[in-house]
Structure formats: structure tokens, C-alpha cells
Amino acid sequence: MMSQAKQLESKSFSDVSETLEPQNKQPYSYFFERGKELLAKGLIAESLDVYKEAIEYHHDYPFSYFVLGNAYEKGGDRLQGLESYRKALEINSINHNLRLKQPSKKSRYSILNERQFYSLSNTIVNLSIACNQTQDLSASLAQISNHINDVAFCLTTTRKLLKLEKYDEAIAFLTKAQELSKFDADFSQQQELEYLWVSVNQAKQNQVLLQDRDYKIISLGYDCLPRTVATLWGLKPRKSAGELTCPFDLALHPYESIVEALNTDFYNYLNPDFLISFQVVKAYDENEKFTCVKNTRYNCLFSHERAEQFRINNFAKLIALYRRRIHNFYRYINSSPVLFLIHSRKNINLDPLIQILLHKFPNLKFKVMLLVSGTKAISPKINDGLAMTYNIPCPSNYRWPTTSARRITYEKTISEAIKETIINNF
């Protein structure tokens, strides 16, 4: 006959709760089902009360803290959710040791089986990243690593770790992915693995090399390439390290509109009279469309603000978002030497921009770096005082976020040019 402990190990939390509970308490399943019902109705506060009451009676149940964490997370309180999940993991570890040392007490404790234990560790990793809380990562990652048998999971975890600039941990997962890819990886995964291996290792080296340099990289358009490449290759800190987004980072601006915005201190840039909803058809796929916001005066597209919330209430959320980004721009301008990055498909005259920067910010130490990606030949490198122009032709069919070998070569060439400019000027 199967022992009671073996029977318990094969059941779920709700199944084992009534078996484990003394008769003078409400069974755990009562609280579990009641809280679950309230959550389904969107009654977060009420479900939290139920789960907290469950903990009063069942404080040695790791699952009590697990469902409490889930309720906190659904309510948007990620930090409290993380704390509850951490407690669940802690209690489970204590109970596991107790069961090993004192088999007679097995029936007093609920059991986190291997799969649930792994899922909880993964949840803690995800929430740690979302909350920028790193203290749980090492232990949770170690627990996860024992269960990895999937290349896609390694790549997903690597991308999450990079958001926290956890390069050593990311490289460990990429190494595991390389081992697994010999047996199970499709072509797109192989390409992404190759791209991440090169860019992550280079980013780690760049961060160490430039850590004592005093500079800020600020994008001046025209698109998100300057911000993206500088960040992915370790030349510009990530959001988790405190880096703030500026107005030209994640939008599309013609060069002339950037000059006008700086010259007029963004006059009419966020005037709702000039903001409209605008449908964009992607050049490389006419079936791929999205709606964003356009400023008709500046002819610029806020291409990353695609959700409807940015287009309702007279564009109130978009205006609030970009006011903060403009504030961030001036904050950086007034606090650090700046390397301005501009991407253009053709060579442009930087003199008007430089004159405006000199006039508006007379005490600012800066350098303007123009990245020309068009195929029309110009001198590969032009150094003209405050301006530096690099001609780095974009490979044919280059699209973000493809991960082909051409992307590696193209972005690495850009990152090396940026690094050279930083070393020589800051």
C-alpha cells in the first residue's frame, strides 16, 4: 500500500490540504477556492484579505504565500508579490529539510513538487527583473538551471537578464543554449544565439572599458537605431541602471524637425492641435500596419506609442510621457558631457545643429556623431571639430529585429565607431 507521504507527494496543494489539516480549522481548500473566486471577479483587495486569513491558520504552507503573491501581482503590486513568493520558496526549503530529517512529521506540511518549485523560481526571476530587485536572482537561477532542456527558454531568460545588465548570468545561459543547440535548435534560434553571444560578450567588455568615462549618450534621431545599438552593445546604460529615455530615442524625426525642436525649446511639439492618429504601413511588408501618433508641424512619428490610450483624451498620456522625456533631455544636458548620436540615410549638414547647441548650451562639453547608413559613397570617416561623421552602409534587407550575421557585422561596426569616439573625446 502506498504510504501517506507518497500519496501526498502525488497530489496537488488543494488535494492535500484537507488531509493535512487538523479538524478544528477551516480546511485550506476553503480559503483557496474563496480567494480564487474573488480573483476571478477582479476583487483583488477582498482576495488578499482571504489569503492573509489563510496564512494566519496555515502559516507553514508555502502555497499560502504563493497564492498571496499571485493576488498581489494581479493587483499590480509586484514588490509585495515578490516578497510573498520569496517567503513561499523559503518555507518550502525549510519544510523539505524537515521532511528529510524527521519523516514522522511529513504529514504536517504541504509539498511543493519539483515542477511547481521550478515554476516558482522562474516567477521570482521574472519579478526580480521587473522590480529591479537582484537579491533573489542567484539562488533562483541556480534552481532553474537544473531543469533547463530547452534552447528557447535559455534565450528568453538571457534577454530578461540583459535588462538588468547581468552579463555573467546571461553568458552562462547562452553557454547552456550552445550546448543544447547541438541537439535541438531551429534556424532562427541559431541566428539569435549567435547574435546574443557576440553582442553580450562585447557589451560586457565595453561596460568594463568605459566605466570610468564621464559621458552621456543622447540620441538625436532620426530613429531608434542610435539608442538601441548603443544600449545592446554596452555603450549606454539600460533603464534598470537608471538610464532615462529622451524625446528622440524611440520616435521618428526628420533631421530638420530635430533642429527646430532644439532651437525653439520644443515649441508646439506637444500641442494637441498638431497631433493626429496616423496609420503606418511598413515598407518591407504592406500587410503589416499599425496606428500611432503624428505631429504634423514637425512631421515626426511617435512610432512606439501604438496603444489606444495614447490617442484618447486629446493625447493626454502621450503628452505627459513626452514632457517627462523632454525634462530628462535637459537634465542630462545640464549635468554631463554628451555624445550626441544621429543616424541618417544620407549625409547632412551638421552646422545648424552645432550652432544651436553652442548657443543654447554654452557650458556643455559635447561631440556630435553622425552615422550615415546610405550606400552612396562618402569618406568613411570625417572629423570636423565638434562633429564626427562615419559612413557605415546598411546591409541589404537589414531589418530590426532580425538576427542575421549581417546584423552582427553592421551593429558591431557602429559600436566600435561609438567606442572609439568616446575613448578619444571623453
The answer as to whether 130 is a domain residue is no
**In this predicted model, what pLDDT tens digit does every residue of 245-262 receive, in sequence order?**
999 999 999 999 999 999
pLDDT of residue 417: 96
From 254, 255, 292, select the one nearest 275 (Cα to Cα): 292
* Residues 298 and 382 both lie in one domain: yes
**In this predicted model, what pLDDT tens digit does every residue of 5-49 receive, in sequence order?**
334 333 444 443 444 444 446 776 788 888 888 888 888 898 889
CA gap 134, 127 in Å, rounded = 10
* Residues 222 and 197 both lie in one domain: no
Give the residue from 160, 178, 207 where a domain finishes: 207
* Residues 268 and 306 both lie in one domain: yes
The answer as to whether 140 is a domain residue is no
* Residues 224 and 369 both lie in one domain: yes
Cis peptide before 330 (omega within 30 of 0): no
* Residues 102 and 228 both lie in one domain: no
The answer as to whether 126 is a domain residue is no
The answer as to whether 121 is a domain residue is no
| Predicted confidence pLDDT, tens digits, the chain (426 residues) | 443 333 433 344 444 344 444 444 677 678 888 888 888 888 889 888 988 888 887 777 777 787 888 888 888 887 788 788 777 767 665 444 433 344 444 444 344 444 555 566 666 666 666 666 666 666 667 666 666 777 888 888 898 889 889 899 899 889 988 988 887 768 888 889 999 999 999 999 999 999 999 999 999 999 999 999 999 999 999 988 899 999 999 999 999 999 999 999 999 999 999 999 999 887 666 678 899 999 999 999 999 999 999 999 999 999 999 999 999 999 999 999 999 999 999 989 999 999 999 999 999 999 999 999 986 656 666 667 899 999 998 887 676 666 677 889 999 999 999 999 999 999
* Residues 275 and 391 both lie in one domain: yes
* Residues 202 and 265 both lie in one domain: no
Q: Where are the alpha helices (DSSP H) in 182-315?
A: 187-210, 225-232, 255-263
CATH number of the domain where residue 25 is located: 1.25.40.10
Contacts of 397 (CB under 8 A, 6+ apart): 284, 406
Sign of CA dihedral 55, 61, 62, 63: negative
The answer as to whether 128 is a domain residue is no
Give the residue from 167, 188, 207 where a domain finishes: 207
* Residues 66 and 158 both lie in one domain: no
* Residues 78 and 160 both lie in one domain: no
DSSP-derived letter for residue 357 is H
* Residues 233 and 382 both lie in one domain: yes
Which of helix, strand or coil describes residue 195? helix
Neighbours of 150 (CB within 10 A): 14
Q: What single letter denotes the amino acid at residue 256?
A: E
pLDDT of residue 161: 86
Kindly state the cell numbers that stand for 236.
549606454
The answer as to whether 154 is a domain residue is yes
The answer as to whether 98 is a domain residue is yes
pLDDT of residue 183: 74
Q: Where are the extended beta strands (E) located within 282-328?
A: 289-295, 300-302
pLDDT of residue 305: 93
pLDDT of residue 19: 42
Secondary structure (H, E, C), 18-79: HHHCCCCCCCHHHHHHHHHHHHHCCCHHHHHHHHHHHHHHCCCCHHHHHHHHHHHHHCCCHH
Give the residue from 113, 140, 172 where a domain finishes: 113
* Residues 199 and 232 both lie in one domain: no
The answer as to whether 129 is a domain residue is no
Range of the domain at 255: 213-425
Task: Give the chain's end-to-end CA distance (angstroms, integer).
Answer: 75
**How many structural domains comprise the chain?**
3
pLDDT of residue 265: 97
* Residues 320 and 391 both lie in one domain: yes
